[in-house]
Structure 1
Amino acid sequence: MLAKHPKGLKVLFLTEMWERFGFYTMLSVLVLYMTHVFGWDEHKMGQIYGLFLGFVYFTPLIGGWIADHILGYRRTIMLGAVTLAVGYSMLAVPNTTALFFYFGLVVIVIGNGLFKANISVLVGNLYPEDSPLKDESYNIFYMGINVGALMAPFAASFMRNTFSFNAAFAIAGAGMVISLITFELGKKYYLLEGAKPSEKPVQEIRLSKKQEKERVVALLTIFAIVIFFWMSFHQSGFALTLFADRSTKQIISPELYQVFNPMFILILTPVIVWFFALLRKRKKEPSTPGKIGIGMFLAGLAFSIMIVASLKGGNLDNGALSPSWLISTYFVMTIAELFLSPMGLSFVSKIAPERMRGTMMGGWFTATAIGNYLSGFIGSFYGTWRHSTFFAVLVLASLFSAFLVLLLLKRLKHATRSKIDKIEDELEAEALV
């Protein structure tokens, strides 16, 4: 699967894998740490957790701007990696005060903002303009994210139960150090001056103001649409977990259902990559915006399963339903995620003007941040609405977003046309005049 890709993709895959391992190891024990060490109640923990995650996904917008205008991608990523390692190390300090804990979270937010969007930009920069491998590369890169996410809960649980919470945070810091070392040692494979000729991206052609505006509008449109996906998707940590706890037989511990998503990603990514390659060979591969639209439709399908599950008895919260309902939902939702999330990263890489590529990638994560916030807002109605009604709202939101993509597909596809093709078209038009 990696043979036809630049070696730099392997480096960035491993860099992101270890960074995500560190982040999700920390996140796996964060709420438990606040409960057992500080004794805070759900309301206070919810506020801290929500603000933390919101800023984690908002700050890449700032980090992208810094990379675009001041430091460049590599130096910004390096600074972010060091900052993240420091933040995790601060949480690893035993017998700390609440103020020091807050400061540690702030440091992690800053580090993530510098790191997150910019490494995604580097993936796209490995490929020439309009490379058919770019979508596939982001699927592979996304698999790296989920390898780290899958390992993290097990590492966090082992370290916490064997040693302490602080040991779990220390392992998160160690993962970040490995990520930093991997990124530095592999720099010759992802830097332009160190790449082989076949791995070097072609030079960008300067866009006109009109072309830039068209592309930015297309990106902002996609950002607005995918907010509804993330609002629905992140019910995995809220409504779906409550459904597992209250409506499902306790064959599987409720928190362990979240392992299914990264596990399915590892299983399904090679299948999705193969499927798209087959369609590409037959010249039937959907456009990147088209894949995003399909992802939104599949998200609606996933929550349709939950409507049926609710009507089958889930509304009663009597713990009588089979786990297969939730597992099936996670399976379809994972396919939706693979159609949408890596494709969103690829879409930004393909059409964002070069001078604002980091900022636009940060915009993608800002949309995620808004979706995260809305997931909590809509999730607050889970206990007051019938569960079937709650999931129906998510289905409608997903299908509405899919319809918007379909409605705007021609315009979005036009924005992804080659810069070279567009310039040639304009020159031909001028010649005719």
Structure 2
Amino acid sequence: MHATDAADAPEHLPQERFWGHPRQLWMLLGVTVGLNFAFYGFRAFLTPYIADTFFASLGATAAQKQADLLASGFLALMYATPIIGGYVADKLLGETRALATSLWLCVVGLLLMAAPSLFGFELGLALFALSTGLGIPLTVLIGRNYAKDDPRREGGYTLYYLAINLGSFVTPFICAGLIGQRYGFRWGFVAAAAGMLIAAALFQWRKHKLDPILPDGAHLHGRMATVWVVLAMLALTYPVALLLAYPTVLRTAMYVLMALLVIYFVVRCIQRGDRVQTQRYLALLLLFVAMVVFWALSLQGVTSLNFFARDHVAAPFHYTLFQSANPLYILLFAPFMAMLWPWLQRRGRDPSTPRKFGIGVLFVALSYGLLAWAIAHASGDRVGWLPLALCYLLQTLGELALSPIGYALVGQLAAPEEASLAMGGWFFGTALAYQLAGWIATQTASGGTALQGFADYGHVYARLFWGGLVVAVVFLLAAPGIRRLMHGVR
């Protein structure tokens, strides 16, 4: 998200090492675990909590729809605000102050989410969404621990990816299971805030150790800059909370912003007159479509699949523990996938990037085909836990094929002077996917008896299977053409 990339790290870095990596990397990994503990902790129960706490009087169907729209709008905002947050970190606060500010404000946002009133809850969502935008420097700081030619950088980012999933694997057991299920899910937000508080305190305590690896001008303005940024975010919290209450307006605004971003790049391509760069942007746009489709389907785990697990899956454990399936599978299979691609490359059979995107969409489509088949062959209105567990497994394999290469690809395909904006646009794609995922989820809540609702899930998931299958086949067949548009970028 930053114009200053990890490749700009100083050449002479501190030589303190722990287990072969820079010592401060481990502090940042600890912050990563705490941050993701907090986020995935409340995300595990967010949508059902909204439906049951704030919209139950509307009836089950309407409550589910309202919850899907509010949760997806909030999560979309979370992935949209880094465009602005990255600019503030680059131009006003510097990376470490921006990240510290983000962590402390996220603690406040999480505590507000525990408020008993809907508007207090929405204020917490708004503040958390705004604050996470300032947290984008964490990814950059990981890379700043390494010189640009250090072969261990990839290993450092692998550890970062594992830290994300370690936090997200553990937290549903604590925030949703141990705390939320026993004492009420409001207290799950407080437990999440405790994890974020530990991350904030750890970073505040050790962030001065990062000074030697920061670029010149990293501390951009005086301490009052932090005060003004915090005041601005607090001032924006109320209008953003109002916007969350009108999901249709929010969705329209995000689609308009995306259209404006596309128009900007079209105009820049015309002004530049560079055929190669124009074709690279076209390839990036096509892969962007595949990425949005993949995440719109995969992110049903936050909305419709969470309700499906609660209402229609017979499992010997609480339904929120299904939220640990994806990070568990990543922890188990990421090392094997990391070895698979080099093994195939040595044999000349490594799929091209466009083909990997097609494979990712294919796996997520198959996950819904499996679930639709299980629903069609069930007796009654419930399925066992295994079909849903396998559904999450297929989605995770698709994620491992597609997700890790996306951000690196943007930096390679975008023009150097527009790399930050292009990365922001790619990140914004996840926000659009959350919006689309919320709309898809509302299609599963059509009312009627429990048996009819169960069948409705089957119909929607069957459509996701066939639609995803078509997109996957198109990208698999079009992969050679898209690869030519990339002009040598793999």
Q: TM-score range by the shorter chain?
A: 0.7 to 0.9
Q: How does 1:113-132 map to 2 (within 5 A)?
A: 113-115=133-135, 117-124=136-143
| Alignment correspondent of 1:391 | 465
Partner in structure 2 of residue 14 of structure 1: 30
Retained in 1: the 8 A contact 2:358–2:472?
no
3-state SS, counterpart of residue 37 of structure 2: helix
Q: How big is each residue's C-alpha offset from its partner over 1:283-317, in whole Å with a ceiling of 9 and x where there is no partner?
A: 86556555444323333343343354355x15x76
Segment of structure 1 superposing worse, 240-249 or 78-87: 240-249
Count of residues paired in the alignment = 396
Closer/same/farther in 2, CA of residues 351 and 70 from structure 1, 3 Å limit: farther
C-alpha distance in 1, partners of 2:66/2:436?
A: 18
- Aligned 8 A contact 1:289 1:413 in 2: no
Structure 1 residue aligned with 2:367: 302
Partner of 2:161: 142
1:272 positional shift:
2.2
Code of the aligned partner of 2:394: V
Letter in 2 for 1:58: A
Match of 2:89 in 1: 67
**Distance of aligned partners of 1:26 and 1:338 in 2 relative to their CA distance in 1, 3 Å threshold:** same
Query: What do you get for the CA RMSD once the two structures are aligned?
Result: 3.8
TM-score between both structures, scaled by the size of structure 2? 0.68
2:9 is aligned to none
What is aligned with 1:101?
121
Residue aligning to 1:329: 391
- What pairs with 1:33-432 in structure 2 (closer than 5 Å)? 33-34=49-50, 38=54, 40=56, 41=58, 42=63, 43-92=65-114, 97-115=117-135, 117-124=136-143, 137-157=156-176, 158-163=178-183, 165-184=185-204, 185=206, 188=209, 192-193=213-214, 210=274, 218-241=283-306, 244=309, 248-251=313-316, 253-276=318-341, 278=343, 291-311=356-376, 313-314=377-378, 318-319=381-382, 321-349=383-411, 357-382=419-444, 383=456, 386=459, 387-412=461-486, 414-415=488-489
Inter-CA distance 307–99: structure 2 relative to 1 (3 Å threshold) = closer
1:25 maps to a residue whose letter is: G
Contact 2:44 2:172 in 1 (8 A): yes
| Distance of 2:284 and 2:142 partners within structure 1 | 18
CA distance in 2, matches of 1:328, 1:308: 12
Mean CA deviation greater in 34-43 or 264-273: 34-43
Distance in 2 (CA, whole Å) between partners of 1:87 and 1:331 is 32
Q: Which residue of 2 aligns with 1:426?
A: none
Once residues 239 and 29 of structure 1 are traced to their aligned partners in structure 2, the CA distance between those partners, rounded to angstroms, is 12
Displacement of 1:408 after TM fit?
0.7
Structure 1 letter corresponding to 2:403 = S
1:265–1:385 CA distance, 2 compared to 1 (3 A): closer
Cα deviation for residue 153 of structure 1 reads 1.5
What residue ranges of structure 2 are gaps of 5+ in the alignment? 1-17, 216-271, 445-455
Quick one: distance in 1 between partners of 2:296 and 2:283?
Answer: 21
Q: Which moved more, 1:332-341 or 1:163-172?
A: 163-172
Aligned in 2, Cα 1:283/1:7: closer, same or farther, shift over 3 Å? farther
Give yes or no for contact 1:64–1:361 (8 Å, CA) kept in 2: no
Distance 1:331 1:162, change over 3 A: closer
Letter in 1 for 2:393: F
Q: Does the Cα contact within 8 Å between 1:303 and 1:394 map onto a contact in 2?
A: no
The 1:401–1:366 alpha-carbon spacing in structure 2 relative to 1, beyond 3 Å, is farther
Does the Cα contact within 8 Å between 2:113 and 2:122 map onto a contact in 1? no
Q: Among 11, 17, 24, which residue is 2:40 paired with?
A: 24
Residues 333/38 of structure 1: CA separation in 2 closer, same or farther (3 Å cut): closer
- Separation in 2 of the partners of 1:290 and 1:7? 38
Judged with a 3 Å threshold, the aligned counterparts in structure 2 of structure 1 residues 147 and 154 are, in CA distance, closer, same or farther, namely same
- For residues 106 and 68 of structure 1, what CA distance do their matches in structure 2 show? 22
TM-score, normalised with respect to structure 1? 0.75
For residue 414 of structure 1, give the secondary structure of its aligned residue in structure 2.
coil
- Give the CA deviation at 1:111: 0.6
